[in-house]
Structure 1
Amino acid sequence: MRAISGLWRWRHNPLRRGTDLVEAWVALVALLLVLVGAPVIGCLVGSVAQDALQRSVREQLHARHPVTATVVRGLSRLDPDPEISPARDLRSRVLAQWTAPDGTRRHGPVTTGLGSPHPGDHFTLWTDAHGDAVTRPLDSATATTHAVLAGCGAAALAAGLVEGIRRLIVWRLVRRRYARWDQAWDRAGPDWGRTGTGS
C-alpha cells in the first residue's frame, strides 16, 4: 500500500527526483510479484511435486508387498530418539521368518514396532518382489503433505528473492542519489552560502 500511495504522492510533486519515482515503481512491482507471482510459483511447484510423489506412491505400492512375519527370537531393543520420536514408539530388532510373495520361505533380522516381542508373535513386514525386507511404502497423505511443504517453500523463496532484488535496486538508487548530492555540493563549492560577502 505504501508503494501505491508513494506513486500517487510523487506524481506531480516538483521536488520529485527520477530515483524517487523509480523507487516507488520498484516497490509496486515487487508488491505485485509477492502477492501474485510467489503464490503462482508455489502452486506450480506444489503441483509438480504432488504428481511426482503420487507417482512414487503408486510405484512403491506396486513393488512392495505386506506379508505376515513371525518372531523367532528377539535380538535387541532400539531406544527411540527422544528428539524425533515419542517414547511410545518402541522398536525392536528380531530374527523373523516370513513367506515371500513368490512363495519362498525367508528369514533374517528385521526391525519391528513390537515393544517387547516374544517368539511366535506376528507382525506385518513389507517386502519387495524377491521377499527382501524393505521400508513401508510412502502413503498418499504423507506425499501430499510433502508437496504442500514444497509449494510453500517455493513461494517463500520466490517472495524472498523478489524482496532481495527490490532491496538491491533501492540500495543502488540511494547510492546514486548520494553521488548526485555529492556532485551538487562539489559544484556549489566550499564557499556555498557565502557568495559575495568578500571572504
Structure 2
Amino acid sequence: MRAISGLWRWRRNPLRRATDLSEAWVALVALVLVIVAAPVLGSLVGTAAQDSLQQTVREQRHSRHLVTATVVRRLGGAPSETDPDTSAAHDARSRVLADWTAPDGTRQHGPALTNLKSPHRGDRFRLWTDPHGRITTRPLDSPTATTHAVLAGFGAALLTAGLVESGRRLIVWRMVRRRYARWDQAWDRAGPDWGKAGTGS
C-alpha cells in the first residue's frame, strides 16, 4: 500500500524528482513480487518436495520391514545408534545383543536397540530392517513427509520475499547515494559563490 500511495503522491507533484518516482516504482514492483511471486514459488517448491518425499515414503515402505528379534543378552554402555524420527525418550532405550530373521530368510545376530525397560534373555521386540536384515530406521510416514513439504514451501516463500526486499533496499540505497553524489556536485559548483553580492544568488 505504501508503494501505491507513493506513486499516487508523486504522480503530478511539482516537487517530484525523477528518483522519487523511480523509488515508488521499485517499491511497487517489489510489493507485487512479494504478493504474487513468493507464494507461487513457495507452492511450486512445496509441491515438488511433496512429490519427492511421498516417493521416498513409498520406497521406504517397500524396502523396510518390521521383524521380531529375540534378546540374547543385554549389552553395557550407551546406545551407539538412535532413530531421530522416534518420539520416545532415548534414555528408555537399551542396547542388547539379539537374533532375528531377515525378510530374505537369513538368520541375523548383532547389537540392536530396544525400548524394553529391563531386557532379559528370550524377550522379544520389534525392529526395522532392510531386505537383507540390516538394521535401519523406521520408514518415513506420509504425514511427516507432508509436514516437511509444507515447511519447505513456507521457507521458499519467505526466502523469496526476503530476497525481493533485500533487492529493493539495495536498489533504493544506490539511488540515494547517486542523488547525494549529484547534490555534492551541485554544491561544489555553487559553493564558492554562495552569498556573494552580484552572483545572482
**TM-score under structure 2 normalisation?**
0.89
Residue 162 of structure 1 and its aligned partner are, at CA, apart by 0.4
Distance 1:167 1:58 in 2: 45
Aligned counterpart, 1:24: 24
The letter for the 1-side match of 2:187 is W
State whether residues 78 and 91 of structure 1, in contact with CA within 8 Å, keep that contact through their aligned partners in structure 2: no
**1:51 and 2:51 are equivalent in the alignment:** yes
Secondary structure of the residue aligned to 1:76 is coil
Aligned counterpart, 1:183: 185
Distance 1:57 1:77 in 2: 33
**Structure 1's 168 and 188: CA in aligned 2 closer, same or farther, altered over 3 A?**
same
Superposed, 1:1-199 pairs within 5 Å as 1-76=1-76, 78=78, 87=89, 90-196=92-198
Distance 2:70 2:40 in 1: 50
State whether residues 7 and 24 of structure 1, in contact with CA within 8 Å, keep that contact through their aligned partners in structure 2: yes
Task: Describe the superposition over 1:135-190 as per-residue Cα deviations: whole angstroms up to 9, x where unpaired.
Answer: 11111111111111111111111111101100110001001110111122122132
User: After the TM superposition, which of the residue ranges 129-138 and 54-63 deviates more from structure 2?
Assistant: 129-138
Distance 1:44 1:124 in 2: 39
How much is the aligned-residue C-alpha RMSD, in angstroms? 1.9
Residue 12 of structure 1 and its aligned partner are, at CA, apart by 0.6
**Structure 1's 89 and 144: CA in aligned 2 closer, same or farther, altered over 3 A?**
farther
State whether residues 78 and 90 of structure 1, in contact with CA within 8 Å, keep that contact through their aligned partners in structure 2: no
Secondary structure of the residue aligned to 1:190 is helix
| Structure 1 residue runs without a partner (length 5+) | none
Distance 1:28 1:177 in 2: 20
| Structure 2 residue runs without a partner (length 5+) | none
Residue 116 of structure 1 and its aligned partner are, at CA, apart by 2.5
Distance 1:53 1:192 in 2: 71
The letter for the 2-side match of 1:67 is V
Distance 1:134 1:9 in 2: 64
Query: How many residue pairs end up in the alignment?
Result: 193
Secondary structure of the residue aligned to 1:66 is strand
Residue 87 of structure 1 and its aligned partner are, at CA, apart by 4.8
**Structure 1's 58 and 44: CA in aligned 2 closer, same or farther, altered over 3 A?**
same
**TM-score under structure 1 normalisation?**
0.89
Secondary structure of the residue aligned to 1:12 is coil
State whether residues 112 and 123 of structure 1, in contact with CA within 8 Å, keep that contact through their aligned partners in structure 2: yes
